[in-house]
Structure 1
Amino acid sequence: MAATIRRERVGTTVGHRGQGPTDVDAYTLDTGAGLAVVVWTYGAQLVEVLVPDREGRTGNVVVRLPDLEGYENRAANPYVGSTVGRYCRCVAGGRFRLDGVEYHLDRNDGDHHIHGGDLGFDRYVWEAEAERSGEVLSLRLRLERPDGDQGYPGALSAEVLYQVSPEGTLTLAYTATTTASTIVGFTNHAYWNLAGAGRIDGHLLALNSTRAVVFDDQLIPLPGPPADITGGPLDHRGLKPVGGLRLDNCFVLDDPDWAARLHDPASGRTMRVVTDQPAVGVYSADGFAGRRRSGICLETGPLPDAPNRDDYSPVRLDPGETYRHRTVHHFSAH
């Protein structure tokens, strides 16, 4: 079966401050070899990832919402499949200092800033351009945000590239440039469920990590280094059942060889994640109202509150530089 790219209109946003009502398109990148993805321009979000099981039956392995209205409803949509930025994860107190200047960000999580603010990247319609190079299909999405947006310094030009290959790989590649020194860290907030339905308790999870960030009761990192988790309940260096374990943690990756593996014994599907980022946030969707534990997030990216932590990998971006982040998902079934 030949590879195809399809585009269709899914609706029009209600509009909000900074962007009026805007048409939203869905792009389907179908390799013709089993793997296909559906991406919407609203939030540059991953809506479907269609993968065959061990019997060759194709199913969607990410949680999706029924319609555009559902994605626009913040109360019902915990960033499902969204591209998250300008800075994913938290910024404690909604503020950080850069070159002696204190910047105050939108506080959308109590006293703190999270996932880019109330009007983060997930709330905008991105410009999109699809392309094909041999058997590889790509969708390039772009968003421009002004200086001062959500409190961040510098006008930012952001781009996310979705790319699929017939070998069963889905690549997400992010880039950004700025007009002034700023902080940047993107991620994708897909909820993975390799069974295609039900709870993720039966999945097996492996993480290439022996350290995890220690949080307070507001999920703000405590002073000090990440904790050694070797031999404890969070030690997932080998495939272990997710079971009823509540996960809302950030794991520091030990090396770049691989980040995570997820396996569903019932369907035989396996997903291996490789990234150039220092950490992966893992969330078992225990707070997803009405769809508790329906998927598991594997959010590759920077460490939480890194803008305020000299002991974490830097997240600064200066004019003339390019922010880069690449994560690859490898799918198989056996």
Structure 2
Amino acid sequence: MKIVRTAVGRTAGESAEVEAYTLDSGRGLAITVWTYGATLVEVLVPDRDGRPGNVVLRLPSLDAYEDPTRNAYVGATVGRYCRCVSGGRFTLDGVVHELDRNDGEHHLHGGTRGFDRQVWRAEAESRDDRLVLRLRLRSPDGDQGYPGTLTAETRYEIDREGRLTFDFCATADAPTIAGLTNHAFWNLAGRPQTIDDHRLAVNSRRVVAFDDELIPVAGPPRDITGTRLDHTTPRPLAGSRLDDFFVLDDPAWAAELSHEASGRAMRVITDQPGMGVYSADHYRSPRAGLCLETGAWPDAPNRPDFPPVRLDPGATYRHRTIHEFRTARS
């Protein structure tokens, strides 16, 4: 097992140095993370013939990651609050907080300069059975309109058993909201192509119902048993357009993605209450990857009937998601 740190370059705006950390398990699984956006840029997993392939989308350069017209949160850590906040505002303790409106009238994925657009501080360590990369970021009071100073940490961890773990945590010095996620686009083929020959299972029978702007409508989650969204057993992704939020009631597992041609499969386990699934139909390379974004429910700051996302001083926000990889051998 080894860790390699290399220089990527400097950002155009603030001329901050960006570094890459490669964590190699020595048993087939290796990842590369950039400090810009605490971004996962590469996950190498062997196919059934032992040939490694990158199973997440990556962009060609730092310039591309900095360009919002080319980078749709590709691989990034998203925060301070992932997903939407309707009307770009929420009320906390009777005070209305106006957030950056970067999605029409709404706030999305932390705003124009969310966590995905900032350079994080990093440190890596090797332990007996795993490699760990910690990235930290301080978000000041008023950042993108959020109250309180928030200190966030994203931790990437790989082990010898073929597991990749995302750990997020955060603390604040005043009442605020928090909800982080990773926005990787997964493609188990290990080369550029669509996800149409993948199969997906999701351990959920309910989704949050959206309006035409993907804002949750009033009422409880909708039962999807027997509908096109019912993925309780594996279904092909060909012809399936997904941009939905699935309610996760069973902590045993959240999703399973498989690709028969390569033999690769991925199982997702999380402690979070839901998962956004997006088949990237509106991405610049349509259907180039599948997003499986575990985390808080959309618009939860404005929905007291949804799982709470409030973070108070003295408390710690926590989120863990594990990706287990396996390969069927020839």
- SS of alignment partner, residue 153 of structure 1: coil
Letter in structure 1 aligned against 2:98? H
Letter in structure 2 aligned against 1:198? Q
Are residues 1:316 and 2:310 paired? Answer: yes
| Offset at residue 235 of structure 1 (A) | 0.2
| Offset at residue 46 of structure 1 (A) | 0.3
- SS of alignment partner, residue 32 of structure 1: coil
| Offset at residue 54 of structure 1 (A) | 1.1
Are residues 1:29 and 2:23 paired? Answer: yes
Are residues 1:223 and 2:221 paired? Answer: no
Counterpart in 2 of 1:267? 262
CA distance in 2, matches of 1:242, 1:162: 28
| Offset at residue 55 of structure 1 (A) | 1.1
Which one of the candidate residues 83, 92, 96 is aligned to 2:77? Answer: 83
Counterpart in 2 of 1:10? 8
CA distance in 2, matches of 1:166, 1:55: 19
| Offset at residue 254 of structure 1 (A) | 2.4
Counterpart in 2 of 1:137? 131
Counterpart in 1 of 2:51? 57
Cα distance per residue 1:1-36 (max 9 Å; x no partner):
xx1100000110012xxxx21010000000010000
CA RMSD in angstroms comes to 0.5
Letter in structure 1 aligned against 2:67? N
| Offset at residue 166 of structure 1 (A) | 1.1
Cα distance per residue 1:127-185 (max 9 Å; x no partner):
00000111300100000010000000000000000000010000000000001000000
CA distance in 2, matches of 1:40, 1:220: 31
CA distance in 1, matches of 2:205, 2:37: 33
Aligned residue pair count: 327
Counterpart in 1 of 2:209? 214
Alignment of 1:107-118 (within 5 A): 107-118=101-112
CA distance in 2, matches of 1:90, 1:279: 14
Counterpart in 2 of 1:98? 92
- SS of alignment partner, residue 263 of structure 1: strand
Which one of the candidate residues 252, 269, 287 is aligned to 1:257? Answer: 252
CA distance in 1, matches of 2:160, 2:47: 15
CA distance in 2, matches of 1:41, 1:322: 23
Counterpart in 2 of 1:277? 272
Letter in structure 2 aligned against 1:228? D
Counterpart in 1 of 2:178? 184
TM superposition score normalised by structure 2 = 0.98
Letter in structure 2 aligned against 1:286? D
Alignment of 1:290-301 (within 5 A): 291-301=285-295
Letter in structure 1 aligned against 2:181? T
Cα distance per residue 1:242-294 (max 9 Å; x no partner):
112110000001211100000001101000000000000000011111x1100
Are residues 1:202 and 2:197 paired? Answer: yes
- SS of alignment partner, residue 332 of structure 1: strand
- SS of alignment partner, residue 76 of structure 1: coil
CA distance in 2, matches of 1:105, 1:243: 37
Structure 1, gaps ≥5 residues long: none
- SS of alignment partner, residue 233 of structure 1: coil
CA distance in 2, matches of 1:127, 1:215: 37
Comparing 313-322 with 238-247, greater Cα deviation is found at: 238-247
CA distance in 2, matches of 1:136, 1:106: 39
Q: Return structure 1 stretches of 4+ with deviation > 6 angstroms.
A: none
Letter in structure 1 aligned against 2:251? P
TM superposition score normalised by structure 1 = 0.97
- SS of alignment partner, residue 224 of structure 1: coil
